[in-house]
């Protein structure tokens, strides 16, 4: 198989992931506008985030089952199409209750793209290339985060939050058709035996999933509430706050492929994962204690360390399973970590609303440190 063809496909999936991320995260810079228009508080916004993550988490295994039965490429592209459809409809929601339902459905179909997407391209790369390939794929998500948090607050300020949600939805619909055309040469095998459920109980897979969920305590609150925190506490303009939080994504864009490359070359991969998780927690603690002037470099490092560990939590179990088990491995990591992470926005918002933002950030530092215990229990 020509090398250029594989990397060209991965480059296109990188673009898909950018729009996928806009449909995931564009709700974040919309929060100040949602709070005003729908007259809701921090707890309601936390519920909105939790409902979305539940949708993403609960349908990971169904997505893997469908990918095994009908082909990963078909399911990934259907996921891109329908997640974009419902994400776009969020921009037309007449009331907060409608927005809750539409965000849940957006999360459901986003789950159809990520895991099957990895299953779709991962077999095209050798074991020594796979860490880098997954890193590039995940870098697309964090490039999308950079656009969402850095550019989209200004877009919404100029043109309104509704158009800011509608445009990425339409873009995703178009990309689903283009990606189908670009990937025509890729075979889409099905497994007549269905899903390999033995992987679900694999100890390494489960601890990878839990570690990723706990490490996410540094990322999910920052991406969902970072702009709101800086506009309400530091009294910054929404565009400036978005630009500051978007630096998280610059670190992430660096961290994803870099960690994959380091992992492919590392002699002691477990020590590398220990180090990245500890630095992830330290950087979040530093963020909570820092004045506004020092936030940008700290946010950059948080993005780098979280995304570096995130990438390795996916790659590590993929190295010890058969090719036919990749779909359920990724689905299990996603399902368990997102079920754990779905509680994070609500816990953070409840603590921050009751005792202040500092208490909320400190709670997240404690949760993120639990990832270190998961690494200790992993055997690889």
Tell me the percentage of the chain whose pLDDT exceeds 70. 93
Helix 3-25 / helix 72-90 crossing angle, nearest 10 deg: 30
Could you tell me the pLDDT band of residue 3, with boundaries at 50, 70 and 90?
A: low
Predicted pLDDT at 378: 83
Check: pTM over 0.75? Answer yes or no: no
Could you tell me the pLDDT band of residue 83, with boundaries at 50, 70 and 90?
A: very high
Q: Which of 55, 163, 169, 162 is nearest to 114 (CA)?
A: 55
Predicted pLDDT at 28: 85
b/e 70-95 (16+ beta carbons within 10 angstroms → b): ebbbbbbbbbbbbbbbbbbbbbebee
**Span 102-112, mean pLDDT?**
95
**Span 194-218, mean pLDDT?**
76
Predicted pLDDT at 1: 47
Question: Alpha-carbon distance 156 to 159, whole Å?
Answer: 5
Question: What would the pLDDT profile of 248-301 be if each residue is shown by its tens digit?
Answer: 878 877 877 777 778 777 788 888 889 999 999 999 999 888 787 788 889 898
Question: Alpha-carbon distance 333 to 321, whole Å?
Answer: 13
How high does pLDDT run on average in the chain? Answer: 84
Predicted pLDDT at 190: 65
Using CA atoms of 45, 335, 119, 253 in order, give the dihedral in degrees to the nearest 10: 40
Kindly indicate whether the domain formed by 3-182+198-377 is annotated with CATH number 3.20.20.70: no
Q: In the predicted model, is pLDDT for residue 114 greater than 70?
A: yes
**Span 346-350, mean pLDDT?**
86
Predicted pLDDT at 189: 66
């Amino acid at each position: 198989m020509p090398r250029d063809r594989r990397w060209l496909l991965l480059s296109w999936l990188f673009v898909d992931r950018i729009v996928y991320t806009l449909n995931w995260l564009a709700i974040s810079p919309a929060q100040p506008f949602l709070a005003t228009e729908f007259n809701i508080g921090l707890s309601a916004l936390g519920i909105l985030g939790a409902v979305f993550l539940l949708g993403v988490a609960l349908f990971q295994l169904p997505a893997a089952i469908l990918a095994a039965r009908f082909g990963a490429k078909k399911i990934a592209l259907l996921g891109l199409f329908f997640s974009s459809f419902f994400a776009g409809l969020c921009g037309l929601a007449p009331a907060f209750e409608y927005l809750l339902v539409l965000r849940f459905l957006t999360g459901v179909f986003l789950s159809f793209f990520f895991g099957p997407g990895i299953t779709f391209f991962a077999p095209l790369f050798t074991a020594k290339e796979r860490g880098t390939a997954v890193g590039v794929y995940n870098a697309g998500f964090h490039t999308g985060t950079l656009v969402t948090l850095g550019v989209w607050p200004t877009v919404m300020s100029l043109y309104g939050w509704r158009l800011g949600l509608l445009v990425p939805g339409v873009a995703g619909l178009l990309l689903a058709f283009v990606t189908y055309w670009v990937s025509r040469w890729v075979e889409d095998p099905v497994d007549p035996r269905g899903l390999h459920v033995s992987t679900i109980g694999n100890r390494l897979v489960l601890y990878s999933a839990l570690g990723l969920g706990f490490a996410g305590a540094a990322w999910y609150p920052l991406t969902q509430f970072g702009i709101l925190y800086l506009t309400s506490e530091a009294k910054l303009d929404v565009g400036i706050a978005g630009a500051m939080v978007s630096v998280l994504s610059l670190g992430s864009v660096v961290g994803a492929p870099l960690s994959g490359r380091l992992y492919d070359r590392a002699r002691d991969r477990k020590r590398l994962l220990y180090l990245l998780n500890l630095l992830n927690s330290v950087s979040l603690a530093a963020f909570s204690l820092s004045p506004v002037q020092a936030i940008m470099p700290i946010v950059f490092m948080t993005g780098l360390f979280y995304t570096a560990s995130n990438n390795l939590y996916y790659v590590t179990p993929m190295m010890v399973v058969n090719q036919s088990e990749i779909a359920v491995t990724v689905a299990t990591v996603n399902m368990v970590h997102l079920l754990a992470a779905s509680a994070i926005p609500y816990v953070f918002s409840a603590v921050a609303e009751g005792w202040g933002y500092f208490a909320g950030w400190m709670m997240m530092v404690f949760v993120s440190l639990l990832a270190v215990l998961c690494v200790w229990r992993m055997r690889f």
